[in-house]
Amino acid sequence: MAAVICGSLAFDTIMNFEGRFADQILPDQLHILNVSFLVPGLRRDFGGCAGNIAYSLNALGGKALPMATVGNDGADYVARLNELGVGTEFVRTVADAYTAQAMIMTDRDNNQITAFHPGAMQQAHITRIASRPDLKIGIISPDGRDAMLQHAEQFKVAGIPFVFDPGQGLPMFDGDELSHFIEQADWVTVNDYEGKMLSERTGWSSADISRRVRGLVVTLGAEGCEVWIDGVVSHVPAVKPAAVVDPTGCGDAWRGALLFGLEQGWPLAKCAALGNQIGALKIAQRGPQNYQVDRRQLGF
Kindly list the catalytic residues.
Answer: 252
Please say whether the beta carbons of 291 and 249 come within 8 A: no
120-136 average pLDDT score:
96
Instruction: Specify the pLDDT at position 247.
Output: 86
pLDDT at 30 over 80: no
Measured distance CA(7)–CA(211) in Å, rounded: 26
pLDDT band at 246 (very low <50, low <70, confident <90, very high): confident
pTM score, two decimals?
0.91
pLDDT band at 284 (very low <50, low <70, confident <90, very high): very high
Give bridge partners of residue 217 from the DSSP assignment. Answer: 189, 227
pLDDT at 32 over 90: no
pLDDT at 278 over 90: yes
Give tens-digit pLDDT for 79-116. 999 999 999 999 999 999 999 998 989 899 878 888 88
Measured distance CA(212)–CA(165) in Å, rounded: 15
128-147 average pLDDT score:
96
Backbone angles phi, psi at 169, to 5 degrees: -85, -10
11-26 average pLDDT score:
90
Query: Chain-wide mean pLDDT for the chain?
Result: 95
Backbone angles phi, psi at 263, to 5 degrees: -65, -30
Instruction: Specify the pLDDT at position 298.
Output: 81
Could you report how far apart the first and last alpha carbons of the chain are, in Å?
Answer: 19
Q: In the structure, how many helices (H) and strands (E) does the chain have?
A: 10, 13
164-193 average pLDDT score:
97
37-61 average pLDDT score:
95
Measured distance CA(134)–CA(137) in Å, rounded: 9
